[in-house]
Amino acid sequence: MTIIHTLLATLPLLAAAVAASNQGHHGGLPKDLVAPHIQAHPYAPGNFRPAVPRREHGHGKVCTIKSHNGDAGPHIVAAARKCNHGGTVYFPPGVYEIATAVDLTFLQDIDFAIHGTISFLQDAKYWETQTFKYDYQGAKLFWRFGGKNVNIYGNDKGVIDGNGPYWWGQMANDSTTQRPIMFGTDGLHHATISGLTMRNPPNWFNLIANSSDILISDLSLQVDPQPKETPAKNTDGWDTYRSSNIVIQNSVIINTDDCVSFKPNSTSVIVQNLSCTGSHGISVGSLGQYIGEVDRVEDVYVYNITMANAGNFARIKRWGMGTVHNVTYDHLYSNSNDEVITLTQCYYAVNQTMCDRYPASLEISDVTFKNIWGTTTKKYDPRVGSLVCSSPDVCHDIHATNIHLEPPSGNTATYTCVNLADSELDINCV
């Protein structure tokens, strides 16, 4: 994906393991199955330790998944158990349909080389009882990866297809349809995910939950154009949740919701070198949503991003208890977005009067927007951003410098600025 660089114990399982194993050979790992050596660049969190390609010299067992008409789920689990502790699970070119929830949270020192196309059974009623369910925002997963020292890669050949049009059509007929997230990690530590194409997720593309030290690089995420009657819904590129030391980089995202969203307790996250189109921005979002829970997002760096035809770009939306601290948006290029900088401390409030009367308790501090240029749409012209805090007591040290945005009218760009204390704002607040 060079274009981007200039931009997952019973008898049935034992039987499946036999079907999934490719003679269990130990030597001479084909060169195109070796995990690529990727690095976080140009930035990485301190003490960042993703997995490394351990089998560069051709060592380790290979367990091959066979493409057939049945459920690939049990075969994937069996192959992962057989090749755990030093092997590679290989998906050759072909189509693999998952029809049962696949729990891969036992992994240790293993690679997944995905050169085929993975999809999921199109049956909304069936998946209502089969997915892995999470309390946060009703999240559900078809499959999930967890463990330590794992490489998941497509070598620019692998595809994960969520059959989104089926799910969006179901939702158009019944808004309560439960749509799973297409790819997820839960308790995955020291890992890389790279070189994959992801298409048309039912819900979010990716959930990175309860995980750490993960490098995600060289992915292509795409939502195909849909009829107005069955629009794509909630197609976030990545949502990070209760995770730290995460790098997302060198990828292209065409979707209809957040390009990246930092959910509760995301810390030490770097997002760099992305091209996002049609999204809702790169967002610190939905914090303090549940009563009694204290959420935080800290130490986030967003660098070198191109955003086109989006509703927002750099966005912080939150309410409730917790903190947003040390978040930086740096080197952003805006191509026809509605609003480029959005800080909304009263995301729940119907108007500023209600925001002032019931100020948020979640504190925002040390937030920087810098080195931002480009164009906006006529939607709010000449306004190109808004920074609205509920109270200067809980919102301070906001910085906005070296920003050059041009609304289509050619008038001077303006910003709505409310309740900002101890802040450096080199912008035209009105």
pLDDT at 331: 98
Indicate if 288 and 170 belong to the same structural domain: no
> Residue 208 domain-assigned?
yes
Residue range 103-119, pLDDT digits in tens: 999 999 999 999 999 99
* DSSP result, 321-337: EEEEEEEEEEEEEEEEE
Q: Is residue 259 part of a domain?
A: no
Query: Quick check: 362 and 288 in contact, CB under 8 A?
Result: yes
Domain boundary, last residue among 245, 270, 300: 245
E strand segments, 255-345: 260-262, 266-277, 282-287, 294-308, 312-318, 321-337, 339-344
| Domain assignment of residue 191, given as a range | 1-245
Residues 206 and 301 in one domain: no
Q: What is the pLDDT of residue 421?
A: 77
Within a domain: residue 53? yes
268 within a domain of the structure (yes/no): no
By annotation, the residues acting in catalysis are 280
Task: Clarify whether residues 228 and 309 are in a common domain.
Answer: no
Helix (H/G/I), strand (E/B), else coil: 144? strand
Q: What are phi and psi of 203, to 5 degrees?
A: -135, -130
**Number of domains forming the structure of the chain:** 2
389 is a domain residue: yes
Give the end of a domain, one of 245, 269, 291: 245
**E strand segments, 99-182:** 102-114, 117-120, 132-133, 140-141, 143-161
Residue 166 token pair: 């089926």
The answer to whether residue 100 sits within a structural domain is yes
**348 shares its domain with 405:** yes
Same domain, 321 and 404: yes
Are 357 and 419 found together in one domain?
yes
Whether residue 214 is found in the same domain as residue 290: no
Q: Does residue 146 share a domain with residue 24?
A: yes
Domain CATH code at residue 34: 2.160.20.10
| H-helix or E-strand spanning residue 13 | helix 11-20
Distance CA(337)–CA(326), nearest Å, equals 25
C-alpha atoms less than 13 angstroms from C-alpha of 233 in its C-beta half-sphere: 19
Say if residue 406 is in the same domain as residue 356: yes
Low-confidence ranges of the chain (pLDDT < 50): 1-27, 57-58, 350
The residue out of 223, 245, 267 marking a domain boundary is 245
pTM, to two decimals:
0.91
- 274 neighbors 248 (Cβ within 8 angstroms): yes
Q: Are residues 201 and 328 in the same domain?
A: no
Exposure string of 101-118, with b = 16+ CB inside 10 Å and e = fewer, is: bbbbeebebbbbbbbbbb
Q: Is residue 150 domain-shared with residue 66, that is, in the same domain?
A: yes
Say if 160 falls within a structural domain. yes
In a domain, 213, yes or no: yes
Based on the fold, state whether residues 232 and 284 are members of the same structural domain: no
